[in-house]
A and B are shown apart, each in its own frame.
Chain A
Amino acid sequence: MMHHRKWTSLKGAGLLAAALLAQTALSSGARAEDRAQLMQEHRGGTMTLSAVSAAGTVDPMINYTAQFWQVFQMTYDGLLKFKQADRKEGFEIVLDLAEALPEPQDDGKTYVFKLRKGIKFSNGKDVTASDVVASFQRIFKINGPTSGSFYNNIVGADKCLKDGATCTLEGGIEGDDAAGTVTFHLVEPDSEFFDKLAVPHATILPADTAAKDLGTEAPPGTGAYVIASYDPNDKMVLKRNPEFKEWSVDAQPDGYPDEIVYRFGMTEEAAINAIQNGQVDWMFDTPPADRLPELGTKYASQVHVNPLAAFWYAPMNTNLAPFDDVRVRQAVNYAIDRDALVGLFGGDVLAQPVCQILPPDFPGHVDNCIYTQDPGPEWSAPDMEKAKELVKESGTAGQKVTVIAEDNATSRAIGTYIQSVLSELGYDATVKAISPNIQFTYIQNTENKVQISVSQWYMDYPAASNFLNVLLSCASFTPGSDSSINIAGYCNKDLDAKMKAAMAQSITDPDGANAEWAKIDTAFMEQAPLAPLFTPKNVDFTSARVGNFIFSNQFRWVISQSWVK
């Protein structure tokens, strides 16, 4: 999951008019035919970005944050890439360093990629098949965060996971420098293989890149920009890559600004002021609640609101009382007033109520809400009577329940709300807020005996399994570990098998598989290991001089395609 940092309270944002939505929808990207002319008019200048804090290492194979994945779009390339385009188009996978999309061979277990010719790294060296092979070995050598979850299906990966230092991926990947081809051999067919090749962890770096976390020293890349300097306590400076020639507008378009400066350390309040004064062009963090009315009225044309493929949810520990009783989990789902939670988050413009696991507009999502008054396609209102009835049946009323929230305004408010719902259902409920940077690992560990918590999930790539299989498969549950993403500790062998089947089916029949995922979503919701709350939207506030704002559903704002001149 990409980590979205620091949600601040968005209470009282009602004034951020719905008109914003209409306005954002109109600002679509530039057409290809007039791109050359736009380039001529708007190329140049320095763009200044701001974030409260930096997001760690700039090693593209290790960094796992939404904040820097957005930056890596213009600095690094993989064999494939998510199209740098508006809204849903951003989910499309396009060819990047690869010349053609390979046909699956050997029942989808073998893929042969052919590299484009004439692409150079920013240090002047040619991109070769050996670089590709070395890059995939490097993912394991440096213990990349997704080495075990994304790339473990490559033949030889199991050996590499055990001993990274000597990783060769023998039998899993072969490069032919003369022919410019790279061959992958998979243990079993993988419908998400292309998605996994398109995220920044599969970046192609020079073969001689050191096999350790590079930290603040960015390795040479192939993108339109290079990270010239990076100090997490000050700023990151991006400059044009002198070796760059545009080979695909979809995958790696040339950028408009000559230089991009990403500053760290200003608070959200200060960043808003700076954007209004034209000192800064954009901020990463969510604008603070008390400034939203002002933005919605005085600066409406500079605000961009877009839905995110994510959800806020309350995982319930299915191995601990009272949530080891399915009736109690269902009761919580019936009792939660999603409208109230949307209100806590900032209102209709900033969030949308949900009662399913897959977000709206996501592959596999079919409107179907079972926990509402008059179950139907959409959530309408809580059903308190039904909830109380279920709790009564379970005979668990009066037990102690602690809600674990993150210690920030929004999460704490949501935790307190869930506490009030549990109290109303007859439990002795309390809420405990923990530092946002610890809470996520804390609630994953069974030894901390967390009954119910408030958490979020943001997708890595657009596939139903990225929610269902990651969050709820038996394999994602490891008792006693801080790294156990199945927070509910739910393991259902039957549904596990169905998910495996759906993943296999989607290789040949993606639509059929998505229908299957919709059924699996409902099946999980019947067992209710978690309570979905709402799906958030993203608020981008840009300075008056920023033009051509494009929002990709995959990596959000496409920075290099906006101009400041």
Chain B
Amino acid sequence: MAIALFQRLLQMIFVMFGISALVFLIFFATPGADPAARIAGRNAAQETVEAIRKDFGFDRPLPVQYAIMMKRLFVTQDLTSFVNRGLKVVPQVLSAAPITLSLVFGAAVLWVVGGVAVGVIAAMTRGTFIDRGLMVLALIGVSMPVFWFGEMMNLVSQSRFHDTWLFSWVPGLGYKPFSTDPWSWFKTLIIPWFTLAALYIGIYGRVLRANLVEAYQEDFIRTARAKGLGPMRVMLRHALRTSLIPFVTMFGLDFGVLVGGAALLTEVVFGLNGIGRLTYQALLNLDLPMILATVMYASFFVVVANAVVDMVYVLIDPRVRGV
């Protein structure tokens, strides 16, 4: 176990190094991105641009600049944004993280429960009207782009029907911290959770149904049935357990990526200033320090999520243990 963890850690460091070097080099290779000119401001005199170039160390060799930036990011942690100057990137990422985590955790609960329910019910009622209805709904969920669905939810709950009994409870967009007001936190997040989860409930439900259907043709299910176990027990203890492997794999990857900032569109639509939106803003403005910080953060979560998935395999599938 310790060796596996160590390997993962090494992998993570390697991935992060690669990404940081790539981001750094792309930034300096982009024409029109001369940070000194951008920081100096519009119509700045050449002397001012030069002074800034020196001040920020842009006149030094690239490897030196890279090393300084990494040191300021990880060791002294005083790296500041190029665009919102004075804004320290590490605290900024740390303060945006709870927003993204709140969003993704809540949505994850919804989509795991919803995905399992849809998959199990559809598989148990295979071929019936219920099964087809659920699969059509799931397909609709998968097909709706999240930013469109979110805008529609906003249009309905914030604009067209905001003053009716149905949506008058919906607070204005924006994040309310859990620590100050848990009830408002819940109210502001419930629609974003549902919006983000809709897509995943669709995907997970469909995948799980297919796996369950396949599992029912396996020998161990026939054995379980032959032993005289009830259909519920066969489903939950035997079929579902093995069918969850692809489900968990997908969950791990999706969760890691979402926590790392892929929930961007949901965040933008609902005015939640999380990691995704932070990354997006940084990319728009070519804010190198902020891009580096958010990308590192994202890659960290992807690697960690993968490691966790591997461990969960061992827990749910007895066949993996011996290997």
Residues of A within 8 A of B (CB): 1, 3, 53-54, 56-57, 59, 62, 64, 143-149, 152, 161-162, 164, 213-217, 231-234, 263-267, 269-270, 273-274, 276-277, 279-280, 434-443, 445, 447-448, 470, 476, 478, 481-483, 485
Asked whether B87 lies within 8 Å of A216 as measured between CB atoms, the reply is: yes
Contact of B43 among A143, A280, A436, A470 (CB under 8 A): A470
Which chain A residues border B48 with CB–CB below 8 Å? 143-145, 147-148, 161
Which chain A residues border B30 with CB–CB below 8 Å? 438
User: A440 → chain B, closest Cβ, in Å?
Assistant: 7
* B181 adjacent to chain A (CB < 8 Å): no
Pick the 3 closest A-B CB pairs, nearest first: A215-B86, A148-B45, A145-B41
Asked whether A149 and B45 contact (CB < 8 A) given A265-B277, A266-B173, A445-B31, the answer is: yes
Contact of A482 among B37, B96, B154, B269 (CB under 8 A): B37
Which chain B residues border A436 with CB–CB below 8 Å? 284
Which chain A residues border B44 with CB–CB below 8 Å? 145-146, 148-149, 483
A313 to B268, CA, bound (A): 31
Asked whether A215 lies within 8 Å of B80 as measured between CB atoms, the reply is: yes
Interface of A is mostly: loop
Sample (27) of A-B pairs whose CB atoms are under 8 Å apart: A59-B86, A143-B52, A143-B55, A145-B43, A145-B48, A147-B48, A161-B47, A213-B86, A215-B87, A231-B95, A232-B81, A234-B273, A267-B271, A269-B151, A273-B155, A276-B159, A277-B162, A277-B172, A435-B284, A435-B286, A436-B284, A438-B33, A445-B34, A481-B49, A482-B38, A483-B37, A485-B42
A264 to B175, CA, bound (A): 11
- Tell me the B26-42 residues at the A interface (CB within 8 Å): 30-34, 36-38, 40-42
A434 to B284, CA, bound (A): 11
Asked whether A148 lies within 8 Å of B172 as measured between CB atoms, the reply is: no
Asked whether A143 and B51 contact (CB < 8 A) given A56-B85, A273-B159, the answer is: yes
A231 to B95, CA, bound (A): 10
Name the CB-closest residue of B to A440: B42
Which chain B residues border A270 with CB–CB below 8 Å? 154, 158, 173, 269-271
Which chain A residues border B47 with CB–CB below 8 Å? 148, 161-162
User: A157 → chain B, closest Cβ, in Å?
Assistant: 10
Asked whether A265 lies within 8 Å of B174 as measured between CB atoms, the reply is: yes
User: A391 → chain B, closest Cβ, in Å?
Assistant: 30
Asked whether A149 and B96 contact (CB < 8 A) given A232-B84, A441-B32, the answer is: no
User: B136 → chain A, closest Cβ, in Å?
Assistant: 29
Which chain A residues border B38 with CB–CB below 8 Å? 441, 482
* B281 adjacent to chain A (CB < 8 Å): yes
Which chain B residues border A231 with CB–CB below 8 Å? 95
* B92 adjacent to chain A (CB < 8 Å): yes
A435 to B282, CA, bound (A): 12
Which chain B residues border A476 with CB–CB below 8 Å? 43
Which chain B residues border A59 with CB–CB below 8 Å? 85-86
Asked whether A274 and B158 contact (CB < 8 A) given A146-B44, A266-B271, the answer is: yes
* B46 adjacent to chain A (CB < 8 Å): yes
* B9 adjacent to chain A (CB < 8 Å): no
- Tell me the B43-65 residues at the A interface (CB within 8 Å): 43-49, 51-52, 55
A483 to B31, CA, bound (A): 13
Asked whether B95 lies within 8 Å of A233 as measured between CB atoms, the reply is: yes
* B110 adjacent to chain A (CB < 8 Å): no
A24 to B73, CA, bound (A): 50
A435 to B27, CA, bound (A): 14
A162 to B46, CA, bound (A): 10
Contact of B86 among A57, A264, A482 (CB under 8 A): A57
A3 to B86, CA, bound (A): 20
User: A425 → chain B, closest Cβ, in Å?
Assistant: 28
User: A202 → chain B, closest Cβ, in Å?
Assistant: 15
Asked whether B43 lies within 8 Å of A233 as measured between CB atoms, the reply is: no
User: B185 → chain A, closest Cβ, in Å?
Assistant: 15
A277 to B85, CA, bound (A): 34
Asked whether B42 lies within 8 Å of A3 as measured between CB atoms, the reply is: yes
Asked whether A483 and B154 contact (CB < 8 A) given A161-B47, A233-B92, A233-B278, the answer is: no
* B137 adjacent to chain A (CB < 8 Å): no
Asked whether B32 lies within 8 Å of A215 as measured between CB atoms, the reply is: no
Asked whether A265 and B32 contact (CB < 8 A) given A56-B85, A273-B158, the answer is: no
Asked whether B46 lies within 8 Å of A148 as measured between CB atoms, the reply is: yes
A266 to B273, CA, bound (A): 9
- Tell me the B267-323 residues at the A interface (CB within 8 Å): 268-273, 277-278, 281, 284-286
User: A150 → chain B, closest Cβ, in Å?
Assistant: 9
A213 to B273, CA, bound (A): 24
Contact of A145 among B40, B154, B277 (CB under 8 A): B40
Asked whether A437 and B285 contact (CB < 8 A) given A216-B84, A269-B154, A274-B173, the answer is: yes
A149 to B49, CA, bound (A): 12
Asked whether B34 lies within 8 Å of A441 as measured between CB atoms, the reply is: yes
User: B7 → chain A, closest Cβ, in Å?
Assistant: 35
Asked whether B273 lies within 8 Å of A233 as measured between CB atoms, the reply is: yes
A436 to B81, CA, bound (A): 19
Which chain B residues border A265 with CB–CB below 8 Å? 174, 271-273, 277
Contact of A217 among B36, B55, B86 (CB under 8 A): B86
- Tell me the B244-263 residues at the A interface (CB within 8 Å): none
Asked whether A441 and B37 contact (CB < 8 A) given A56-B85, A215-B85, A267-B271, the answer is: yes
A323 to B197, CA, bound (A): 54
Asked whether A161 lies within 8 Å of B271 as measured between CB atoms, the reply is: no
Which chain B residues border A56 with CB–CB below 8 Å? 83-85
A565 to B107, CA, bound (A): 39
Asked whether A263 lies within 8 Å of B174 as measured between CB atoms, the reply is: yes
Which chain B residues border A64 with CB–CB below 8 Å? 41-42
Chain A CB within 10 A, most for which of B38, B174, B277: B174
